[in-house]
Chain A
């Protein structure tokens, strides 16, 4: 794999929110790479900063109170030069969103305009970015509806969002997101509001469509099961930082960070029964993101916490293996804290 393959390079991204009770460091200096055609999982519990990361990349952080204060988001489209999404003009970002980078959100009902016909909404992006005529856009919309497995697409194209079920609406969102053949699809908890059997349909759809077009996908989720089935690479987030990033097999079969390990051990597993034993559980709850000291944010809950964990945030350490992986934990750090 060459670095040419990297389509999105995020470095040192920091986003803060000014709240009444102080400064919330929602995303506190995170870095990761996304390669062409790769599916990357961004996994963490609520408040870990995974959704804010998504918003920051697309410059959609509501401001005020939020602000991306530092970092680079380098986007490298095929055949074009590298651009820092945080530095280009508002106009340029707007064009990139939708054409090169698309999003799907958790709640498909609020993401669709209730008073516009479905075909019109799907076709909108096509007309905007590809200059299709109204008729062409409608034809393309019907074709997309068929592609995502909506029965009787000619009739359904003229219906309104409330006439669609939750699963169908999410499929429409996916059709819209993929209608312009984007380079990157960001899916923010796309199946959290859906039932498992519908979730399976949706994930299957994302997977097959992305594979067909070699779209890179950032999958934001709290569900490690979804990550295991969908992603090649995984970033685990905790308290606004990425604590571990690795290939999916390495992460699941040999987690290095105590948080990742604890998380994996806490999940009840449908494929293992008869275990009379208890689940592992990480004691305590995630920290407040206000006024965090310079320390590992996980140390109060960590069974293997050492003195140093309370004194400094661990550097990201590159571990060699089948595939290179990174972990931010003093257990694996190669050097002590800088004085």
Chain B
């Protein structure tokens, strides 16, 4: 695998949030280590899923990749360029190649703008900057065709967000993300706020768009089933780190990290017989606080297979098979 195949490459990404105490005299009282050394890469045309439970840092990772959250350390290379080193002007130029689909179909649309203007806004901004060459007629043509492509009737163009259902709003958000013709879509829990019957509509739409527009995806979700359906490769996150990456099929068949195994076994299956026969791995306790200074493996307190050494040093992500990386001492030194 040569590096130039990778559209996105994240190395050693850390995002720490300072915790402040006091109101008038603010002082730093510590850090929340939301993302604490994350590595992954996404090949062109691939869909990589970031999965994990709340507080694992997957959304913060997505926002850092989208350059909406400053990284504390590490590098994010997009199409070979280090995004962190770009000037504000160049970053603006680069932004149109990576766009975001947000989780909340309510707060992600400006309630005071009409659907058409929401979808057209990115084009208008870039047209004004002279980066995209399009006059108002061209913008209208593109916007309306995008609406149609995303399953929105163009007769709704002049409606306000509150007049749409959750699923339709998410379609507006998707159309907006596509309006600049991006290469990478960062989808941050795009279906988790939707009902089951709507969720499948949106997943299908994203799948179709991925094929038609030749898109690369960084897909964030807490629902392993959704990730497995949509993504080629999956990175499992726990407490600010990636603990395992593998292809979707491999991860399902052969999960290695004890956390991945527990996660897989905890997902309820809509199949009563399987539910009755399967054995769940029940984890002890809760996810520890990401603000605590810690030594050793972040998962050790809850790990059913924790060993003595797990308390002293943290394992690194290391390849154990072709395309399968895991960070756990059970699978040799690292």
Q: Say which one of B17-25, B36-44, B195-203 lies at the interface with A.
A: B195-203
> B196 contacts which chain A residues (CB < 8 A)?
45, 222, 224, 263, 266-267
B205 to chain A, nearest CB (A): 9
B53 at interface, CB cutoff 8 A: yes
B252 at interface, CB cutoff 8 A: yes
Known: A196-B224, A270-B267, A271-B274. A222 touches B53 (CB 8 A): no
Partner of B267, one of A165, A196, A266: A196
Contact yes or no, A274 B249, CB < 8 A: yes
A132 at interface, CB cutoff 8 A: no
Provide the A246-283 mask, 1 if CB < 8 A to any CB of B, else 0.
00110011000000001110111111011100111111
> A249 contacts which chain B residues (CB < 8 A)?
272-273
Known: A196-B263, A201-B282, A269-B225. A281 touches B272 (CB 8 A): no
Known: A195-B222, A262-B197. A200 touches B266 (CB 8 A): yes
Q: How far, in whole Å, are A46 and B274 apart by their CA atoms in the complex?
A: 27
A65 at interface, CB cutoff 8 A: no
Contact yes or no, A269 B270, CB < 8 A: yes
Contact yes or no, A281 B197, CB < 8 A: yes
Contact yes or no, B283 A196, CB < 8 A: no
A223 at interface, CB cutoff 8 A: yes
Q: Most B CB atoms within 10 A — which of A45, A267, A268?
A: A268
A85 at interface, CB cutoff 8 A: no
Q: How far, in whole Å, are A208 and B11 apart by their CA atoms in the complex?
A: 45
Contact yes or no, A222 B249, CB < 8 A: no
Q: Say which one of A86-94, A134-142, A155-163, A225-233 lies at the interface with B.
A: A225-233
Contact yes or no, B280 A204, CB < 8 A: yes
User: Which of A226-244 touch B at CB < 8 Å?
Assistant: 226-229
Contact yes or no, A223 B271, CB < 8 A: no
Partner of A167, one of B168, B249, B265, B286: B286
Known: A278-B207, A285-B165. A201 touches B283 (CB 8 A): yes
A176 to chain B, nearest CB (A): 19
User: Which of B270-297 touch A at CB < 8 Å?
Assistant: 270-276, 280, 282-283, 285-287
Nearest-CB residue, chain B, relative to A43: B196
Q: Most A CB atoms within 10 A — which of B54, B168, B195?
A: B195
> A199 contacts which chain B residues (CB < 8 A)?
266, 268
Q: How far, in whole Å, are A325 and B2 apart by their CA atoms in the complex?
A: 59
B303 to chain A, nearest CB (A): 12
Nearest-CB residue, chain A, relative to B224: A270
B54 to chain A, nearest CB (A): 6
> B283 contacts which chain A residues (CB < 8 A)?
197, 200-201
A287 to chain B, nearest CB (A): 11
Contact yes or no, A226 B268, CB < 8 A: yes
Nearest-CB residue, chain B, relative to A275: B229
Provide the B217-229 mask, 1 if CB < 8 A to any CB of A, else 0.
0000011111011
Nearest-CB residue, chain B, relative to A200: B266
Nearest-CB residue, chain A, relative to B199: A266
Known: A45-B197, A46-B195, A195-B53. A268 touches B282 (CB 8 A): no
Q: How far, in whole Å, are A248 and B272 apart by their CA atoms in the complex?
A: 7
Interface of B is mostly: helix
Contact yes or no, B204 A281, CB < 8 A: yes
B164 to chain A, nearest CB (A): 10
B-side interface residues, number (CB < 8 Å): 48
B269 at interface, CB cutoff 8 A: yes
Q: How far, in whole Å, are A275 and B280 apart by their CA atoms in the complex?
A: 25
Nearest-CB residue, chain B, relative to A248: B272
A186 at interface, CB cutoff 8 A: no
Partner of B268, one of A228, A252, A279: A228
Nearest-CB residue, chain B, relative to A283: B201
Contact yes or no, A200 B280, CB < 8 A: yes
A168 at interface, CB cutoff 8 A: yes
B237 to chain A, nearest CB (A): 12
> B275 contacts which chain A residues (CB < 8 A)?
225, 228-229
> A165 contacts which chain B residues (CB < 8 A)?
286
> A282 contacts which chain B residues (CB < 8 A)?
197, 200-201
> B282 contacts which chain A residues (CB < 8 A)?
200-201, 204
A312 at interface, CB cutoff 8 A: no
B59 to chain A, nearest CB (A): 14
Contact yes or no, B197 A279, CB < 8 A: no
B122 at interface, CB cutoff 8 A: no
Known: A224-B196, A280-B200. A268 touches B229 (CB 8 A): yes
Contact yes or no, A281 B201, CB < 8 A: yes
Nearest-CB residue, chain B, relative to A204: B282
B262 at interface, CB cutoff 8 A: yes
A115 to chain B, nearest CB (A): 22
Known: A268-B203, A270-B264, A281-B204. A228 touches B271 (CB 8 A): yes
Known: A204-B282, A267-B225, A274-B249. A225 touches B200 (CB 8 A): no
B147 at interface, CB cutoff 8 A: no
Provide the B173-196 mask, 1 if CB < 8 A to any CB of A, else 0.
000000000000000000000011
Nearest-CB residue, chain B, relative to A227: B270
12 contacts between A and B (CB under 8 A): A45-B197, A166-B286, A195-B287, A201-B283, A204-B280, A225-B275, A267-B225, A268-B230, A269-B271, A270-B252, A281-B200, A285-B166
The 9 closest A-B pairs by CB, nearest first: A225-B268, A268-B229, A195-B53, A266-B200, A229-B275, A200-B266, A45-B195, A281-B200, A270-B225
